[in-house]
A and B are shown apart, each in its own frame.
Chain A
Amino acid sequence: MAKQVDLIQGTLDLLILKAVSLGPLHGYGILLRIQQISQDRLEIQQGSLYPALYRLDHQGWIASEWGESENNRKAKYYRLTAAGRKQLQAETAKWNKMTEIIGGILETVPEEL
């Protein structure tokens, strides 16, 4: 159980960083953007988005600021910080490497051994 949660959590963090790297967004906006980019193929538990946002904010990778929403409501906007940009690059590189390795392993056929 624990491992699976970790993995999802890690992934969610990466997705959030990516989403806000494209421009400041509020929490609901981040959710919409991820769903939009993934073409609704990812199921995200809405409430669990916020603990992840608070954690990233706590670590200094994203920063928050209150602003006006599209329909003139007060909303908390998140943007990527410099540290967050580095983190995003590092995480992306790690992810790519990981998928490459795992992919390689999974595509192995008997003859190649």
Chain B
Amino acid sequence: MTLGARLGSWMRAMRDRSRMEGEMEQELRFHIESCARDLAKQGVPREEAIRRARIEFGGLEMHKEECRASLGLRIWDEFFGDLRYALRMMKQSPGFTLVAVLSLALGIGANTAIFTLAKAVLLETMAVPHPERLRLLTYAVKPEFNISGWGSWYRNDAGEMVGTPFSYRTFREMQQHQQAMEDLVGFKDVYKLTATIGGEAEALDGELVSGNFYSSLGARLIAGRAIAPADDMQAAPAVAVISDAYWARRFGRSTDALGKTIGVNRVPVTIVGVNAPEFHGAKANGTPELFLPISLQPQVIPDRQGSLLSRDNFWWVLMLGRLKPGVTDQVAQEALNASFRNAIRPAYPGKRDNDLPRLVVGAGRRGLDQMKGQYAKPIYVLMGAAGLVLLIACANLANLLLARASVRQREMSVRMAMGAGRLRVMRQVLTESLLLALLGGSAGLVLGIAGQNIIPDLFEASWRTSSIRGEFDWMVFTYTLGITLATGLLFGAAPAWRSTKADLNAGLKETGRMTSGSGRALLGKSLVVFQVALSVMLLAGAGLFLRTLVNLKSTALGFNPERILLFQLDPPRTRYAGKQRTALFQQIEERISTLGGVEAATASAEPLVADSMDNGCFRPADRAPRAGRQDMAYANSVGSRFFETLGMPILYGRGFTAHDNQTGPKVAVINQRLAKDFFPKTNALGKTITTCSGGTPASFEVVGVSADAKYDSIRNDVPPTIFMPYLQDDDAGSMTFEIKTAASTASVAAELRAAVRSVDKDLPLLEVRMQPQLIDATLSQERVFATLTGGFGMLALILAGIGIYGIMAYTVSRRTNEIGIRMALGAQARGVLAMVLKETSVLALIGVAAGIGAALGVTRLVASMLYDVKPDDPLTFVSAAGLLVIIALASALTPARRAAGVDPMQALRHE
């Protein structure tokens, strides 16, 4: 009602405070003078009249203060007063302020950076309206049910296979026969499309989308038009929508891009629209740059076995839809399951309904979300570690502030003796803490924003741009502000409460140094114990992650990655199909072998230690299939100089030669592990191995046995592996070339590009990198953990040192008198020194014991992230404990010396 008036009057008063003060002074003086004049008129002498008018008016300053309170100014006056005082206090002890602000900045900055990452990976929804109603369709099926397709499946806790891809026909059938969703859209992410503009080829990621994708999801475009249902027809002209990033990079955001034709895997496609910058397709944290109608699949990414659109038992399309308002997941799931079963039944005749896949409505607010599974746990662990750091910083500050509060005991006693209320004193102490917190928080925010991409960059491979975009927004700001205020209250609460517990009499009578209160020392000591315990937890965690990284790095690879340069070729099938591919690869392999600076060159279908592999069913030809057990082996098609280029020794027999080609007999080299598996007691050489994956079985004669080497990842044991010459393959997918360089790799890379261009100028070199770089990239998560937790651990150690120094210095100064008496009674300086150090050790040991107990409980949770080290690794725990005890004693040394140096005469006279 009167809120507007109140706000207006308050604003006026605040804006022109000095004028308001002047007017108030003038108004009150006018009153007193008028009153005095009236008294004078009644015959009172002037001097006496003024005196009486003043008395009748009452306390001038008091009434002014009440007037200010009436205007709502008082609370601000007090606040600004507190603020000024707090600033003065901070200036008085710059060392303390620096430690406080710096430790908070680091703690809050780390939390901000990790929250930014967590938001991008776990919270950010798809940039379309009503993401909360989006659902991704998935299904669960018994593992016996054979699905062939393209996509990812995993085994859930119930032992069922869970998958997201459906056949194209299933998608179309369900799209037409369902009522639970507003609509269903289909999409598929495709990688490394070769885009050619003006003779220059570039590898891009893309997304195939159904014709209703844009209209149904409501994704925004900033130029041109979206892909429409009419574009998703077999005979429709080929069109594409491009991403904002691609638009900016390739066309400088010029509208000329619209209507331009680009070659996508050599198929001419016309650009019709540009996505809004915030829209990144239907895969969470993906970076597709070309959006194409799904009907273009047969032309753009042709499959050996024909169009995927008409293969009813090939599962590859993902389905996303928005629930109709008011429809629950349960209802939708039942309705969609019925529609799903009807759609797939014709393709699987003779299967009972119980054996058919069961549709499950999955989360879809982020679209297809593979990041979450991969990064959720690491991020929770990092958030936990960062939270611990902040908690340690809080404990540390609370402790330092408590020690300071005891010095200020007298000041507080004076304040309260003069009438300050408990709340008022508490408010003042809290203002000081909050000011510190806000300063630390602001610095932390700056650090967090500056470092928001450091962690994602650490996670990502160095030759690829980061697909995780940490973005600062109001949510990050709110989070940081929230933890800042919580921090301020947390470390300010104990000192604030303490400061009002002052015994006025004692506080005023005694010198600040002498105030009684073993309670305060106890509180401080508990805080130090708490701090030490948390630090031990962090250090133990850091130690485990560090050992994991070291173990992984020192694991024997079985091959020599030094000076191996890699690049990948994925020629479009529209130009190279079947044997043309192997011929092309052979031609390029030969061409680059002759380059200067190249010691040896080879190629393989799968690069080593790149988290990718190929496996299949293989069996010794003379052995029957074993019941209930599949004969699996990892397979790799390689060039003839593979083993010598990578330095993998051939133990028996021979490696491949140029004669192992289409005309020669099919041969294979197996590794020791497979030889032991398949031919346990006999010589493997000359034996035959056949495939058993279905189709016509192929047989290979074992011509050599190689030493064991890691295949897909350092973490995994060497798998039983079979190598075949790619020259004997009927077809090939993409191929990675491995080149052993003589010296400088930069010049070689340029020569390679030229060599490949001379064979086909439209072939882009993909993923050019060094083998050691690639291996490093597969360790990125371990490195992030070792680096971050190690950094946090160091910070925790420093803070623990400061905390222990603080509490011991305080204890010693409080006990100067007692120490003086001891020395007067004959205690030796060394004894006093030992006494202080002993007290410190007790504190440290209690903290260490508590910390180790807690750490043992917590590290078990990260057991799956460790390598070759147990979560209760004694060496790590003992080192962490030892480190803390050493830091504790070192920090206590100065206060201990001071205690030992007390002059008994002076200490006693001080009384």
The chain B residue sitting closest to A46, CB to CB, is B57
Q: Which of A47, A52, A59, A71 contacts B6 (CB 8 A)?
A: A59
A50 at the A/B interface (Cβ < 8 Å)?
Answer: yes
Q: Which residues of chain B are near A71, meaning CB under 8 Å?
A: 37
Give per-residue flags for A31-75: 1 if the beta carbon is below 8 A from chain B beta carbons, else 0.
100000000000001111011101101111100001001010111
Q: Is B70 an interface residue (CB 8 A)?
A: yes
Q: Are A50 and B27 in contact (CB under 8 A)?
A: yes
Question: Are A28 and B35 closer than 8 Å at their CB atoms?
Answer: yes
Q: Is B69 an interface residue (CB 8 A)?
A: yes
Residues in chain A near residue B63, CB distance under 8 A = 47-48, 50-51
Contact B5 A58 (CB under 8 A): yes
Chain B neighbourhood of A47, CB < 8 A: 57-60, 62-63
Say whether, besides A51-B70, A58-B10, A46 and B35 are in contact (CB < 8 Å): yes
* Also in contact, A69 and B58, with CB within 8 A (given A58-B72, A76-B23): no
Q: Interface residues of A toward B: which range?
A: 20 to 34
Contacting residue for A54 out of B34, B60, B62, B70, CB 8 A: B70
Distance between A22 CB and nearest chain B CB, rounded to angstroms? 19
> Is B27 a contact of A76 with CB atoms below 8 Å?
yes
B42 an interface residue at 8 Å Cβ cutoff?
A: no
Q: Residue-by-residue, is B32-63 near A (CB-CB < 8 Å gives 1, otherwise 0)? A: 01110100000000000000000011111011
Contact B26 A74 (CB under 8 A): yes
Question: Which of B27, B37, B72 has its CB near the most chain A CB atoms (within 10 A)?
Answer: B27
Question: Would you give the shortest CB distance from A1 to chain B, in whole angstroms?
Answer: 16
Contacts of B2 in A (CB 8 A): 59-61, 83
Q: Does B9 contact A (CB under 8 A)?
A: yes
A46, B27: Cα distance in complex, Å: 13
- Judge whether B30 and A26 touch: CB under 8 Å: yes
Any A CB within 8 A of the CB of B66? yes
User: In the complex, which residues of chain A have a beta carbon less than 8 angstroms from the beta carbon of B301?
Assistant: none
Question: What is the bound-complex CA distance between A50 and B31, given in angstroms?
Answer: 10
- B71 contacts A by Cβ under 8 Å: yes
**Cα-based distance from A50 to B26 in the complex (angstroms):** 12
State the Cβ distance, B349 to closest chain A Cβ, in Å.
83
Closest to B37 in A: A71
How far, in angstroms, from A46 to B59 measured CA to CA in the complex? 10
Output the least CB separation between B52 and chain A (Å): 11
Whether B69 and A58, one on each chain, are in contact in the complex, defined by CB atoms closer than 8 angstroms, is no
Residues of B within 8 A of A24 (CB): none
Are A54 and B30 touching (Cβ within 8 A)? no
Determine the main DSSP class of B at the interface with A.
Answer: helix
B475 at the interface (CB under 8 A from A): no
A50 CA to B2 CA, complexed, in Å: 20
Nearest Cβ on chain B to A87's Cβ, whole angstroms: 9
B residues in contact with A27, CB < 8 Å: 27, 30-31
The distance from the CB of A35 to the nearest CB of chain B, in whole angstroms, is 11
- Cβ of B10: which chain A residues have Cβ within 8 Å of it? 58
Given A27-B27, A46-B31, A51:B9 Cβ within 8 A: no
A59, B27: Cβ atoms under 8 Å? no
Q: How far is the CA of A26 from the CA of B26 in the complex (A)?
A: 12
Contact status A73-B35, CB under 8 Å: no
A-B complex: 10 closest residue pairs judged by Cβ atoms: A60-B5, A47-B58, A51-B66, A54-B70, A47-B63, A55-B70, A28-B34, A54-B67, A59-B2, A58-B9
A-B contacts, 7 of them at CB < 8 A, read: A58-B10, A58-B71, A58-B72, A59-B6, A66-B23, A73-B30, A76-B30
Seed contacts A47-B58, A47-B59, A60-B4; 17 additional CB < 8 Å A-B pairs: A27-B31, A28-B35, A46-B35, A47-B63, A50-B27, A50-B31, A51-B63, A52-B70, A55-B70, A58-B5, A58-B9, A58-B72, A59-B5, A69-B30, A69-B34, A73-B30, A74-B30
Which residue in chain B gives the minimum CB-CB distance to A76?
Answer: B27
- Residues in A with CB closer than 8 Å to B57 are 46-47
Give chain B's interface residues, CB within 8 Å of chain A. 2, 4-6, 8-10, 23-24, 26-28, 30-31, 33-35, 37, 56-60, 62-63, 66-67, 69-72
Q: How far is the CB of A53 from chain B (nearest CB, A)?
A: 8
If A27-B27, A28-B34 touch, whether A50 touches B5 (CB-CB below 8 Å) is: no
A69 partner residues in chain B, CB cutoff 8 A: 30, 34
CB B571 to nearest CB in A, in angstroms, measures: 80
Chain A residue contacts of B27, Cβ below 8 A: 26-27, 50, 75-76
Residues of B within 8 A of A48 (CB): 58, 63, 66
Q: Tell me, in angstroms, the Cα distance from A59 to B10 when the chains sit together.
A: 10
* Shortest CB distance A88–B (Å): 14
Enumerate chain B residues within 8 angstroms of A73, measured Cβ to Cβ.
30, 33
CB distance from B421 to the nearest CB of A (A): 15
Chain A hits for B24, CB < 8 A: 50
Give Cα A69–Cα B26 distance, bound, in whole angstroms: 13
Distance (Å) between the CB of B409 and the closest chain A CB? Answer: 32
**Beyond A28-B34, A50-B28, is A58–B6 a contact (Cβ under 8 Å)?**
yes
Q: Are B70 and A28 in contact (CB under 8 A)?
A: no
- For the complex formed, measure the closest distance between the CB of B37 and the CB atoms of chain A, giving whole angstroms: 8
| Distance (whole angstroms) from the CB of A95 to the closest CB of chain B | 20
B703 to chain A, nearest CB (A): 98
C-alpha gap A76/B35 in the complex (Å) = 15
Q: Using Cβ atoms and an 8 Å threshold, which residues of chain A touch B26? A: 74, 76
**A75-B37 Cα distance, complex, nearest whole Å:** 15
Which B residue sits closest to A81, measured CB to CB?
B5
Find chain B residues with CB under 8 A from A54 CB: 67, 70-71
Bound complex: CA A76 to CA B20 (Å): 12
For residue A58, which residues in chain B have a CB less than 8 angstroms away from its CB? Answer: 5-6, 9-10, 70-72
Question: In the complex, how many angstroms separate the beta carbon of B26 from the nearest chain A beta carbon?
Answer: 7
How far is it, in angstroms, between the C-alpha of A57 and the C-alpha of B8 when the chains are bound? 11
CA A83 to CA B4, docked complex, whole Å = 12
Question: In the complex, which residues of chain B have a beta carbon less than 8 angstroms from the beta carbon of A28?
Answer: 30-31, 34-35
For A61, list chain B residues within 8 Å (CB). Answer: 2
Cβ of A97 to closest chain B Cβ, rounded Å: 21
Distance between Cα atoms of A66 and B19 in the complex (Å): 13
The residue among B9, B56, B62, B63 with the most chain A CB atoms within 10 A of its own CB is B63
B9 contact set on A, CB distance < 8 A: 57-58, 60
A73 to B32, CA, bound (A): 13
| Beta-carbon nearest neighbor of A57 in chain B | B9
**Chain B residues in 8 Å Cβ range of A50:** 24, 27-28, 31, 63, 66-67
A78 nearest CB across to chain B (Å): 10
| Shortest Cβ distance from A60 into B: residue | B5
Cβ distance A82 to chain B, nearest Cβ, rounded Å: 11
* Min CB gap B9→A, angstroms: 5
A13 to B108, CA, bound (A): 50
Specify which chain A residues have a CB less than 8 angstroms from the CB of B70 in the assembled complex. Answer: 51-52, 54-55, 58
Of the candidates B4, B6, B30, B60, the one having the most CB atoms from chain A within 10 angstroms of its own CB is B30
The answer for the CA separation of A13 and B69 in the assembled complex, in Å, is 16
Which chain B residues border A76 with CB–CB below 8 Å?
A: 23, 26-27, 30
Q: Nearest Cβ distance between residue B707 and chain A, in whole angstroms?
A: 89
Contacts of B69 in A (CB 8 A): 51
Find chain B residues with CB under 8 A from A57 CB.
9
From B4, B5, B30, B67, contact of A51 by CB (8 A): B67
CA distance A62 to B10 in the complex (A): 15
In the complex, A50 Cα to B70 Cα: how many Å? 9
Nearest chain B residue, comparing its CB with the CB of A44: B56
Cβ-closest chain A residue relative to B13: A58
**CA of A55 to CA of B69, assembled, Å:** 9
Question: Which chain A positions have C-beta within 8 A of B8?
Answer: 60
B6 touches A60 (CB 8 A): yes
**A47 to B10, alpha carbons, bound, how many Å?**
22
Measured CA separation A26–B28 after assembly (Å): 11
Q: How far is the CA of A83 from the CA of B5 in the complex (A)?
A: 10
Shortest Cβ gap from B3 to chain A (Å) = 9
Q: Which B residue's beta carbon lies closest to that of A75?
A: B30
B67: min CB distance to chain A, Å: 4
Residues of B within 8 A of A51 (CB): 63, 66-67, 69-70
Q: Which residue of A lies closest to B10 (CB)?
A: A58
- Which residues of chain B have C-beta atoms less than 8 A from A45's C-beta? 58
A74 vs B10: C-alpha distance when bound (angstroms): 24
Nearest-Cβ distance from residue A20 to partner chain B, whole angstroms: 15
